[in-house]
Amino acid sequence: MSKVVHFETNHGSFEITLDPQAAPQTVENFLQYVNEGHYDGTIFHRVIPGFMAQGGGYDATYEKKSTRKPVKNEADNGRKNTRGTVAMARTSDPDSATAQFFVNVADNAFLDHTAKTSSGWGYTVFGQVTSGMDVVDRIVSQETGAQGPFSKDAPLEPVVLNSARVR
């Protein structure tokens, strides 16, 4: 059964419907972070118009949040990184996703799984924004620059995720 997560930000609220059939380990991992309150008080630290909004890893003072061990990449699930989908952020290691996620604000086919190789694994899509995409668009339209440890693409005014709750 799909679960809905309600996000309350300082720019409004949005909801995502999770897809446990497509990405069971990713959804379980994400829900653990939600239920532990991990996302409360975090920021969207990277926003790029025409691409995505990324958050879940830093608090409002740009302190990196501690995480559990990474989850296995499930990007070979057939889901695509299209506008409104939610996927896990990761490093160059395909199996490195922990708590950071991003919302696609455009169709980003170059992030899709193409092969089980380091360059083809892609990014695991595990949910879809089902309410409040206008809020996500507002978040991604914020003026950006260098903030905290980031040399670019960080909102100059913090975009705070006040709370994340399962509905």
Burial 39-66 (b: 16+ CB within 10 A, else e): beebbbbbbeeebbbbbbbbbeeeeebe
DSSP symbol at 34: H
Following DSSP, what letter does each residue of 142-165 receive, concatenated?
A: S-EEEETTEEEEEESS--EEEEEE
pLDDT of amino acid 133: 98
pLDDT of amino acid 131: 98
pLDDT of amino acid 2: 82
pLDDT of amino acid 156: 97
- Local confidence pLDDT in tens for the 167 residues of the chain: 689 999 999 999 999 999 999 999 999 999 999 999 999 999 999 999 999 999 999 999 999 999 999 999 999 999 999 999 999 999 999 999 999 999 999 999 999 999 999 889 999 999 999 999 999 999 999 999 999 999 999 999 999 999 999 99
Characterise 96 by phi-psi region: left (phi > 0), alpha (psi -120 to 50), beta (else). alpha
E strands along the chain, which residues? 4-9, 12-18, 42-48, 52-59, 85-88, 101-104, 125-131, 144-147, 150-155, 160-166
Of 85, 87, 58, the residue nearest 159 (C-alpha)? 58
pLDDT of amino acid 110: 97
Predicted TM-score of the model (pTM): 0.97
Number of helical (H) and strand (E) elements in the chain, helices listed first: 2, 10
Span 4-166: which CATH code?
2.40.100.10
Of 81, 74, 31, 77, the residue nearest 54 (C-alpha)? 81
Q: What is residue 140's three-state secondary structure?
A: helix
